[in-house]
Chains A and B, each alone.
Chain A
Amino acid sequence: MNPCNVAWMKQREIRDYRISLRGIQATMLILLLAAVPVWAGSSIAPKLDIGKGGQCVDDPKFMRKNHMKMIVHQRDETMRQGIRGGKFSLAGCVDCHASKKDNSVLGSNEHFCQGCHEFAAVKIDCFECHSSKRKVIAEVSK
């Protein structure tokens, strides 16, 4: 085969590839634009029982993204250095966000911790050892 022909073929393939890439990009953009109103309307976001709710220890947007870092930091300080009474704590999460019905953050897709973690497909290990019940109630039922 003529080597010039091969080069031409290659160029053509590259051009086709670029066109198809552009197609994919456009499709993605359309999909994204379509998805934004759905997300904003929260029709697929988990519907959570926020328990007592009210003012969280920090901005809810920040907490949604960073709560795990905050409680891991706190757990190491409390466990290993004995620093207590900080702003962030797992017991604090449970105290505010346990459902008013059964005082738990676990149990169904509406419960605060379980609902969101199931939606995000993230396993929670906390409650294999820690209590998922609001403290006062847990002590009364003991």
Chain B
Amino acid sequence: MSDKVNLGRRQFLSKTSAAIAGIAIAPGMLLFDFVHARPAGEAASGAVRWGMLIDTTQCESGCNECVTACNKENGLPVAKLPTDVQWIRKVELKQVSTGRQVSLPMMCQHCAEPPCVDVCPTKASFKRADGIVLVDKHRCIGCRYCMMACPYKARSFVHEPVLDHDSDMPRGKGTVESCTLCVNRIDRGELPACVEACAKAGHRAILFGDLNDPNSEIHLRIRSVASSQLRADLGLNPGISFVGL
């Protein structure tokens, strides 16, 4: 029994080290820009701004891996009704004149000037120092003004009692919630669940990182590739940008 366990562990180690060697360009240099965990007791820094760059040319139509990963990570039930909770959803767009089709994941755009925060009467909706827009459910009274204010329809209201709680993502009936960019994972130094799932499915359509760090991969990509924000005309400066829209 113990031999089997050890064998499994050894295989795992050799595989992961091979995988790490695969993504290393040179010793000490990695292809991926790993997110670093903040030390315990330190507050989120205003010098950082978390964001995503979604490459719609890499996003496969019909693939739902990011949505499944989000639901699993945050303990969300699979949405069946239009009123059910959705933190991320897949959207298929078609340009009528040309017939060009685009598939992309839609979630909270983590605006620099979030309208949901402006309208919240209890200051439950707030933007953390590192740019993540969150709902403080201790304060949320479930008025749903934020849902009306959001131009991306990114927020959901919890209509049903939550029975099986996730220990990392507290949720409760009567409050509004939306994508948290997997804030608990980011604070641990991990990537958001959807980003990880997309890479695992071999698409790498979602790039996550610090928009303010001039050396981060996302910063370099945004500088070199044409990207656009959704409804940029509203002047909300979302943290999520898209390539190939």
Which positions in A face B, CB cutoff 8 Å? 75-77, 79-86, 91, 127-133, 135, 138-139, 142
Contact = CB atoms under 8 A, between A and B. Distances in A.
B43 A81 contact: yes
A83 B137 contact: no
A129 B165 contact: yes
Contacts of A132: 165
Interface string B137-172: 110000000000000000000000010111100111
Nearest to B128: A82
Nearest to B43: A81
Contacts of B170: 129-131
B183 interface: yes
Contacts, number: 62
Nearest to A77: B43
Contacts of A80: 126, 128, 136
B44 interface: yes
6 contacts: A80-B128, A81-B128, A82-B129, A82-B130, A84-B40, A142-B164
A86 B43 CA distance: 11
B42 interface: yes
Nearest to B135: A79
A39 to B, nearest CB: 34
A135 B167 CA distance: 6
A85 B41 contact: yes
B52 interface: no
B15 interface: no
B218 interface: no
B134 interface: yes
B183 A82 contact: yes
